[in-house]
Amino acid sequence: MMKSVIAGLGLLGLAGVPAQAAGDDVFAVVAEIPFADAAQGVNEAIVNKGFKVDYHGFLGDMLKRTAGDVGATKELYKDAEFFTFCSAVVSRTVMEADIGDIAYCPYVVFVYEDAATPGKVTIGHRTLPEGGERGQVNDILHDIVRTAADGF
């Protein structure tokens, strides 16, 4: 089951609702904040840590735009976006420990509002496997998610 952070951590704005399972390699929180605030919070949390957002993707818009082309009838997201970034310092440390860790870069943080449960926004990231220097990346990603969910 996907790891979720809930209100018990004392973060404001978090609902006691676990995010829908995507896999054990996903860390997510569910927040009862407006989607636009959550997306802005992710962007600002990344920038405030000294990183540059490399790409801001609008996955929800793409899925809505192409639904008819693929014969889709189910609306998945009210909105869904993702942000990619990297860190020259952290990435170098991680890749010096294991050169194959290039597979985890860039880092991605996602935010979505499920069409079936409006008002609950999920913010998360894929968790890097344990080992080497990857823990510091997970710590950074966890902090970005928590900061965004807390209303930045």
103 class by beta-carbon count within 10 Å (0-12 exposed, 13-18 middle, 19+ buried): exposed
Q: How far is CA 12 from the centre of its chain?
A: 18
- Summarised one tens digit per residue, pLDDT across range 56-96 is 999 999 999 999 999 999 999 999 999 999 999 999 999 99
Burial 6-37 (b: 16+ CB within 10 A, else e): ebeeebebbbebbbeeeeeebbbbbbebebeb
Name which CATH class applies to 3-120+142-149.
alpha beta
What separation in angstroms does the CA of 17 have from each of 5, 78, 146, 149?
9, 18, 15, 13
Nearby residues of 20 by Cβ (< 8 Å), 6 or more positions away: 2, 114, 122
What is the pLDDT, as a whole number, of residue 9? 35
For the chain, what are the domain ranges? 3-120+142-149
Q: Give the H/E segment covering residue 85.
A: strand 77-85
Nearby residues of 118 by Cβ (< 8 Å), 6 or more positions away: 78
What are φ and ψ of residue 83, in 5° steps?
-130, 130
Q: Which of 4-18, 74-88, 119-133, 137-151 has the lowest mean pLDDT?
A: 4-18
Q: Beta strands 107-114 and 77-85: pairing type? A: antiparallel
Does the pLDDT of residue 7 top 80, yes or no?
no
At residue 118, the 3 state secondary structure works out as coil
Does the pLDDT of residue 6 top 60, yes or no?
no
Q: Which of 11-25, 49-63, 73-87, 103-117 has the lowest mean pLDDT?
A: 11-25
Q: What is the mean pLDDT of the chain?
A: 87
Per the CB < 8 A criterion, the answer to whether 46 and 146 are in contact is no
Residue for token pair 């894929």: 126
